[in-house]
Amino acid sequence: MENVDLTAAEFGETYKNTPGAILLDVRTEEEFEGGHLPGALNINIMGHEFHEQIEELDRETEYFIYCRSGARSSNACKYMQTQGFEKVHNMLGGILAWQGDVE
């Protein structure tokens, strides 16, 4: 099982070099619409359909998951692992770190 916490720089570099990987934003729809990483899929971890939406994803695919600060994405990674996803990565510090607001 591969659950790797990555810094924003490592996250971006590893995602870029992983063919077929999916970028998953687990923030709310409003947060997502306010700005997100290019190509990201939005599945709100706080939404009623979160579990059903995760269930529909391919377990063989590699996922790069982020939120605002890294807490929700960490929880999403842990949940996905319990559902049989083996390649999930969490961006430490979330989109705030990506934008350079946090070290």
Residues known to be catalytic: 67
Distances (CA, A) of 81 to 59, 62, 84, 98: 9, 12, 5, 24
How many Å apart are CA 11 and CA 94, to the nearest integer? 10
How many Å apart are CA 10 and CA 4, to the nearest integer? 10
Q: Which residues share a beta bridge with 41? A: 24
